[in-house]
C-alpha cells in the first residue's frame, strides 16, 4: 500500500498537518482556530508538564491559579502591554442568554450586559499584579515565586495546529523580587531551565539570547528567549523569559518596605512555554515516515508486537511478552504490549512507526526457539536481533542512545544551517534559499530591523547571550556594528 501522507519535500506544511492529525495528536474542532488535543498528543504534553513542573518546583516555585477573566480596566494600566495585546482579545460582554422571540434558538439577552467587560486572558500579568499588591508589603514577603498552568486566548487571524491556535495551554511564571539584580537573575535562571528542558528532554538544541526592541514582550524591559531551528530552515521561539523591571509594580502600585524602612516598587519577571513546544518537537525530529519522539517524552517508549499463527503460539508469546514487559517496567521503561488480534503485525509496525514510538520489539515463534527478539529503533529505522538475556538493560541503553542521537542529529542540522554573511546579496540569498540561522551585522536600530523584515521576511531571532564582540558593518545600511545578531524567518 502506498503512503497516504505528504513528505517534507513535497509539501512541508501538509507534512506537518498530516503528522499532527494522522499520529492522533490533535485535530481541528468545531470552534474556529481552536483545536482538540487528542489523548496521544495530550499525554506527550503531560510528560512535558510533569518534567517542567518538577524543574520549577526544584527552583523554588509554587503553583497557583488566577482567573480566566480580566476586567478590561486592568489592561489599560500598563501602556505598552495593552498596546501589544489589544488587537487579539476575546471580550465577554454579557452574562445571560434567552429564548429567541421567534422561537428559533437562543440569543444574547441585551438586558444582561456587564457593567465592565471582561477580557479572556491572553496572559495574566495584569490580574496577577493586581493580586500581588495585597500579597506584598515587606521585603520579608519577597521573593514571590509563582507559576500557573492555564489556558489563554489570543484571537489569531491565522491558526495552525499547536503552532498558533486561538486558545492554547501553557504555563506562566510570575515572580516578584526586592532588587533589580535578583529579578534579572531569575529571568536568566528560568531561561536556563527552558534551555535545559529543550535540549535534554525534547532533544532540541536552542540558542539562548535576548530579543531586540521590536520583538520584545509588551511591557518587558528585556525579553530572553530560546530559539530552535526547524527542518524547513525556519526558526521557532520555543520559550521566553522576561525581565519586567518595575513596569507592572508601578502600574499596579505594588510596593514593599525594605529593611531600611523605605518604600520601593518591586521588580518582576514572567516566563512561559506553551503547547507550541509540541510543534517544535514534531518539526525538529519527525521524518517522512511520521512522528519521531525522543524517548524521554514518548508516552510509550517501547511497543511489543507478537507474531503468531496458532492460538498455542499466541499463548506462549503472551507469556514471554508479559515477562519482557515486566523486566522493562522494573527499569521504569514505559511499555505497551499490543496483543490485539484484529490487526496484523505489519499493520502495527506501520502504525507505531507513524506514531513515533522509539523502540519496537517484535517477537515470534522463531524468537521463542532461539531466545531472541527483533528490536527496531524508530530514529534510524535499523533492525537487529537481540538475545533475550538481559534485554531490559540493553533496551534501556538503546533508549539513551536514541535520545542522544536525536539531539546530535538536530544539532548537526542546525550547524549545517547556520551561516555568517557580510553582504546584503549574501543575506538575501541565504534567507530566500536555504534559510536557517543567519549571523549578520546590524546597526542596532529599529528602522533597519523593520526594513530587513519588510524586504526579506527575516527577523532578528535573538542577540545570543555572551555574544562574541566583533567589529563589522550592518548588512543593510553599512553603518558600524559591534556584533553579529541572528536572523531567520520564523514561525
Which residues of the shown chain bind RNA in the complex (CB under 7 A)? 1, 3-4, 13-14, 17, 28, 32-33, 84, 87-88, 154, 156-161, 163-166, 168, 215, 217-218, 236-237, 240, 274-276, 307-309, 341, 344-347, 349-351, 353-354, 360, 362-368, 373-374, 376, 381, 383, 454, 457, 490-491
**Toward RNA, which CB reaches closer, 188 or 367?**
367
Q: Length of the chain, please?
A: 491
Cβ distance 139 to 229 under 8 Å?
no
**Toward RNA, which CB reaches closer, 186 or 215?**
215
Shortest Cβ 202–RNA spacing (Å): 15
Shortest Cβ 257–RNA spacing (Å): 34
Cα–Cα distance, 272 to 225 (Å, whole number): 10
Cα–Cα distance, 256 to 134 (Å, whole number): 10
Shortest Cβ 32–RNA spacing (Å): 4
Shortest Cβ 245–RNA spacing (Å): 17
**Toward RNA, which CB reaches closer, 166 or 210?**
166
* Among 206, 217, 195, 210, CA closest to 483: 210
Q: Is 171 helix (H, G, I), strand (E, B) or coil?
A: strand
Shortest Cβ 139–RNA spacing (Å): 32
Tell me the H-state helices in 151-235.
180-200
Cβ distance 420 to 439 under 8 Å?
yes
**Toward RNA, which CB reaches closer, 223 or 481?**
223
**Toward RNA, which CB reaches closer, 217 or 337?**
217
**Toward RNA, which CB reaches closer, 255 or 320?**
320
Shortest Cβ 370–RNA spacing (Å): 8
Shortest Cβ 232–RNA spacing (Å): 10
**Toward RNA, which CB reaches closer, 164 or 189?**
164
**Toward RNA, which CB reaches closer, 260 or 341?**
341
Phi, psi of 63 (to 5 degrees): -90, 150
Task: Outline where DSSP puts E strands in 13-105.
Answer: 26-28, 35-37, 62-63, 69-71, 91-94, 97-99
Give the three cell numbers for residue 465. Answer: 547571550
Handedness of CA 166, 235, 56, 253 (dihedral sign): negative
Alpha carbons within 13 A on the beta-carbon side of 454: 7
Shortest Cβ 275–RNA spacing (Å): 7
Cβ distance 65 to 75 under 8 Å?
no
Rounded to 5°, the CA angle 463-465-281 comes to 80
Amino acid at each position: 500500500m502506498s503512503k497516504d501522507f505528504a513528505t517534507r519535500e513535497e509539501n512541508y506544511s501538509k507534512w506537518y498537518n498530516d503528522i499532527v492529525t494522522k499520529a492522533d495528536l490533535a485535530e481541528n474542532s468545531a470552534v474556529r482556530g481552536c483545536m482538540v488535543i487528542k489523548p496521544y498528543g495530550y499525554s506527550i504534553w503531560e510528560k512535558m508538564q510533569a518534567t517542567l513542573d518538577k524543574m520549577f518546583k526544584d527552583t523554588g516555585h509554587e503553583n497557583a491559579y488566577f482567573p480566566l477573566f480580566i476586567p478590561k480596566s486592568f489592561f489599560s494600566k500598563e501602556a505598552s502591554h495593552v498596546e501589544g495585546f489589544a488587537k487579539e482579545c476575546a471580550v465577554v460582554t454579557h452574562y445571560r442568554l434567552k429564548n429567541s422571540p421567534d422561537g428559533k434558538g437562543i440569543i444574547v439577552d441585551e438586558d444582561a450586559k456587564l457593567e465592565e467587560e471582561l477580557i479572556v486572558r491572553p496572559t495574566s500579568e495584569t490580574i496577577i499584579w493586581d493580586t500581588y499588591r495585597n500579597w506584598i508589603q515587606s521585603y520579608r514577603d519577597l521573593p514571590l515565586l509563582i507559576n500557573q498552568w492555564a489556558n489563554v486566548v489570543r484571537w489569531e487571524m491565522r491558526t495552525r495546529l499547536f503552532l498558533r491556535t486561538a486558545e492554547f495551554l501553557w504555563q506562566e511564571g510570575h515572580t516578584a523580587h526586592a532588587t533589580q539584580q535578583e529579578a534579572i537573575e531569575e529571568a536568566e535562571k528560568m531561561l536556563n531551565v527552558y534551555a535545559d528542558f529543550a535540549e535534554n528532554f525534547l532533544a532540541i538544541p536552542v540558542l539562548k539570547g535576548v530579543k531586540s526592541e521590536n520583538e520584545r514582550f509588551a511591557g518587558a524591559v528585556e525579553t530572553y528567549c530560546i530559539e530552535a531551528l526547524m527542518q524547513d530552515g525556519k526558526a521557532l521561539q520555543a520559550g521566553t523569559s522576561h525581565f519586567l523591571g518595575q513596569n507592572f509594580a508601578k502600574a499596579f502600585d505594588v510596593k514593599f518596605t525594605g529593611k531600611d524602612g523605605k518604600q520601593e516598587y518591586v521588580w518582576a519577571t514572567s516566563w512561559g512555554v506553551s503547547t507550541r513546544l509540541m510543534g517544535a518537537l514534531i518539526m525538529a525530529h519527525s521524518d517522512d515516515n511520521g512522528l519521531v519522539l525522543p524517548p524521554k517524552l514518548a508516552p510509550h517508549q517501547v511497543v511489543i508486537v507478537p507474531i503468531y499463527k496458532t492460538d498455542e503460539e499466541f499463548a506462549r508469546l503472551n507469556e514471554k511478552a508479559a515477562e519482557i514487559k515486566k523486566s522493562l517496567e522494573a527499569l521504569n521503561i514505559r511499555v505497551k504490549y499490543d496483543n490485539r488480534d484484529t490487526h496484523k503485525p505489519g499493520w502495527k509496525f506501520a502504525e507505531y512507526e507513524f506514531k513515533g514510538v522509539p523502540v519496537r520489539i517484535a517477537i515470534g515463534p522463531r524468537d521463542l526457539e532461539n531466545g531472541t527478539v527483533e528490536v527496531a529503533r524508530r530514529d534510524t529505522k535499523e533492525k537487529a536481533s537481540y538475545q533475550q538475556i538481559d534485554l531490559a538493560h540493553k533496551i534501556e541503553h538503546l533508549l539513551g542512545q536514541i535520545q542522544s542521537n536525536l539531539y546530535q542529529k538536530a544539532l548537526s542540522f542546525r550547524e549545517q544551517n547556520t551561516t555568517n554573511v557580510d553582504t546584503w546579496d549574501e543575506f538575501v540569498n541565504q534567507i530566500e534559499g536555504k534559510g536557517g540561522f543567519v549571523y549578520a551585522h546590524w546597526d542596532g536600530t529599529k528602522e533597519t530591523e523593520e526594513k530587513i523584515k519588510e524586504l526579506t521576511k527575516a527577523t532578528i531571532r535573538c542577540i545570543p547571550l555572551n555574544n562574541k564582540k566583533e567589529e563589522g558593518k550592518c548588512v543593510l545600511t553599512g553603518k558600524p556594528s559591534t556584533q553579529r545578531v541572528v536572523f531567520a524567518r520564523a514561525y
